[in-house]
Amino acid sequence: MTTRDDNKTRLDALRVEIERRNPAQPEFHQAVHEVLETLAAVLTARPEYAEPGLIERLCEPERQVIFRVPWQDDQGRVHVNRGFRVEFNSALGPYKGGLRFHPSVNLGVIKFLGFEQVFKNALTGLGIGGGKGGSDFDPHGRSDTEIMRFCQSFMTELYRHIGEHTDVPAGDIGVGGREIGYLFGQYRRITNRWEAGVLTGKGTGWGGSAIRPEATGYGSVLFAAAMLRERGEDLQGQTAVVSGSGNVAIYTVEKLLALGANPLTCSDSTGYVIDDKGIDVELLKQVKEVERGRVSDYAERRGASARFVPGGRVWEVPADIALPSATQNELDENDAATLVRNGVKAVAEGANMPTTPEAVHLFQRAGVAFGPGKAANAGGVAVSALEMAQNHARTAWTPNRVEEELARIMNDIHTTCHETAARYGAPGDYVTGANIAGFERVADAMLAQGLI
């Protein structure tokens, strides 16, 4: 009989091989390692998962598409960016995952995001596979017409790889309602089809779902609340630090306020704001969503309660709850140590892998409730799947119905992660619970469908 140590040795060897075959992709290596280090107990308890090639197939994308994206700016200059779509695993349903437009985008980043998406989507229980895409295009400072030209060029290649039964992209960093509109328009123009289910995050007047912009931020707060309830507490009266000031961060702040918590911070690449009265979410929306300004503008207009800290670390602000909602690896071991010293009780990841492995382990050793992104920020893709369901039925649900469904899904994800961790001897370890629960659902489907 294969022992747990035997399986750990096998998984360590597989990790080394994956790093060899995927050089210079540290984010992808990090995401794979985080999952593999939790699976030895599963392979021991469920020997059918040790079937040769199963985990190897799970760690290899089914398809990787890289393409050129030429476009012209308002001065007539031609630019050439690189586009990506990694269709990672479709055992549970069509590939589903966002598009990211940011200068940091490369193949390794997209593969890490796609790999995480496989497990996140499995946890929702909504029959969607995992994928991710994007470009190294930087939309910051570009005019609407430049962004439209870029999106049209991007979709001119991407359209041949997607479809409502094949691959359904959505938004991510740098891709909001404006970009989704331009992408959908070009898809419709090229294909001559009103295929509403091909993209999610659309406007509510033309196939989008209520609560979709809010869903990721709302969901991470709901997951944090569930972790606190497990410990006999709730969010009422708790202070919170939130990083970022984009879509996820804004609606994280909004939901914290709705549940009686006090969000103290927001941030961007220039620094962070601390607001002693709590973040004014309507002012933040005006500055970031309408004016596309900086958080320093928020501080200037908020008054005496707010101050801007240029280049600072938002995690130095004492609070009960931390919700990293900006980007990957933004919270390191030193930040975690500061948060622990300041008495943080729970951390819920609104962004994808925003906490380094060293920081995660520190939180766990300190007894802090830690909700990994594949569980805590699954609300966005969950409502995207609900948008797909509405598109298939040619109907639109009320905001109340969508929000009730989101709350149910996030509660179910929390319960699944909590119970799975306990079942495998790691009570309270949401990282282990999320990884194993997502893995079991995908692996069962892969085994049932044969060697493909």
370-386 residues labelled b (16+ CB within 10 A) or e (exposed) = bbbbbbbbbbbbbbbbb
- Sole residue written with tokens 């130095």: 316
Domain match, 269 and 341 both: yes
* pLDDT tier at 25, thresholds 50, 70, 90: very high
Q: Is 120 annotated as a binding residue?
A: yes
pLDDT at 4 over 90: no
Max Cα–Cα distance, the chain, nearest Å: 69
How does pLDDT run across 120-149, given as a tens digit for each residue? 999 999 999 999 999 999 999 999 999 999
User: Has residue 441 been placed in a domain?
Assistant: no
Domain match, 158 and 90 both: yes
Q: Is 247 annotated as a binding residue?
A: yes
> What pLDDT does 2 receive?
79
pLDDT at 45 over 90: yes
303, two tokens:
């008054």
User: Has residue 206 been placed in a domain?
Assistant: no
State which of 195, 229, 257 marks the end of a domain.
195
Q: Is 400 annotated as a binding residue?
A: no
* pLDDT tier at 315, thresholds 50, 70, 90: very high
> What pLDDT does 52 receive?
74
75, two tokens:
């001065």
Domain match, 165 and 246 both: no
Of the candidates 179, 175, 172, 191, the one whose C-alpha atom is nearest the C-alpha of residue 148 is 179
What's the structural domain count of the chain?
3
User: Has residue 125 been placed in a domain?
Assistant: yes
Domain match, 356 and 230 both: yes
What is the extent of the structural domain holding 41? Answer: 4-59
User: Has residue 429 been placed in a domain?
Assistant: no
Domain match, 11 and 84 both: no
Q: Model pTM?
A: 0.95
> What pLDDT does 411 receive?
98
Domain match, 48 and 75 both: no
Q: Is 171 annotated as a binding residue?
A: yes
User: Has residue 417 been placed in a domain?
Assistant: no
Contact between residue 431 and residue 38 where contact means Cβ atoms under 8 Å apart:
yes
Tell me if residue 132 is catalytic: yes
State which of 59, 79, 94 marks the end of a domain.
59
Q: Is 96 annotated as a binding residue?
A: yes
User: Has residue 403 been placed in a domain?
Assistant: no
Average pLDDT over the chain reads 97
> What pLDDT does 1 receive?
65
* pLDDT tier at 276, thresholds 50, 70, 90: very high
Domain match, 236 and 355 both: yes
State which of 361, 376, 391 marks the end of a domain.
376
Catalytic residue among 111, 132, 288, 345: 132
Domain match, 261 and 302 both: yes
How does pLDDT run across 396-450, given as a tens digit for each residue? 999 999 999 999 999 999 999 999 999 999 999 999 999 999 999 999 999 999 9
How does pLDDT run across 70-128, given as a tens digit for each residue? 999 999 999 999 999 999 999 999 999 999 999 999 999 999 999 999 999 999 999 99
How does pLDDT run across 190-248, given as a tens digit for each residue? 999 999 999 999 999 999 999 999 999 999 999 999 999 999 999 999 999 999 999 99
What separation in angstroms does the CA of 217 have from each of 45, 146, 378? 36, 29, 10
Domain match, 190 and 307 both: no
User: Has residue 451 been placed in a domain?
Assistant: no
Domain match, 71 and 186 both: yes
Domain match, 117 and 91 both: yes
User: Has residue 165 been placed in a domain?
Assistant: yes
Domain of 180, CATH number, reads 3.40.50.10860
Domain match, 53 and 73 both: no
Which amino acid, 170?
A
